[in-house]
């Protein structure tokens, strides 16, 4: 993603506490950092941290080898700050674990505000079924890097 493209992603973006968003965050150059489940668990901890600090109410998420999808309700933080915290904290943690320096994430992120229960349900199903659709597992219960409040 070019810097110009990431700037374009921010146009018209808004966030409101209590709104539910589906986000997609992609690794720099689509590096497959999270093909290792051990590394993926570090990212799970960052999601958990934002949830436990009441910044978000996590509804569903999956960590794929080169990206993650996350469905959550914003609480005590705006969307831009939430994504900044998530990406910066996880980059520090991952770089420390990998004993390296460098970019972990592409600039920007994709987000979509959910308008109704039907959209929320569809987004959660899309997120949870991602590893099966991609052929990583035959059954989502065989994939360790996901969670949802509905199971």
Distance (Å, whole) CA 76 – CA 149:
20
Domains and CATH numbers, the chain: 3-148 (3.30.70.1290)
> Which three-class secondary structure state does DSSP give residue 105?
strand
**With contact defined as beta carbons under 8 Å apart, do 9 and 23 qualify?**
no
Q: What is the pTM of this model?
A: 0.88
pLDDT digits (tens, 9 = 90+) for 45-99: 999 999 999 999 999 999 999 999 999 999 989 999 999 999 999 999 999 999 9
pLDDT at 9: 44
Chain-wide mean pLDDT for the chain? Answer: 90
């Amino acid at each position: 993603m070019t810097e110009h493209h990431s700037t374009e992603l921010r146009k018209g973006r808004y966030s409101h506490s209590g709104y539910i968003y589906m986000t997609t965050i992609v690794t720099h150059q689509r590096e497959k950092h999270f093909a290792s489940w051990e590394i993926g668990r570090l990212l799970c901890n960052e999601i958990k941290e934002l949830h436990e600090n009441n910044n978000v109410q996590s509804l569903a998420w999956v960590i794929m080898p080169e990206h993650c999808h996350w469905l959550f309700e914003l609480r005590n933080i705006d969307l831009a700050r939430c994504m900044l915290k998530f990406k910066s904290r996880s980059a520090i943690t991952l770089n420390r674990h990998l004993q390296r320096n460098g970019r972990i994430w592409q600039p920007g992120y994709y987000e979509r505000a959910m308008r109704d229960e039907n959209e929320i349900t569809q987004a959660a199903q899309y997120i949870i079924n991602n590893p099966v659709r991609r052929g990583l597992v035959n059954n989502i219960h065989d994939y360790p890097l996901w969670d949802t409040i509905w199971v």
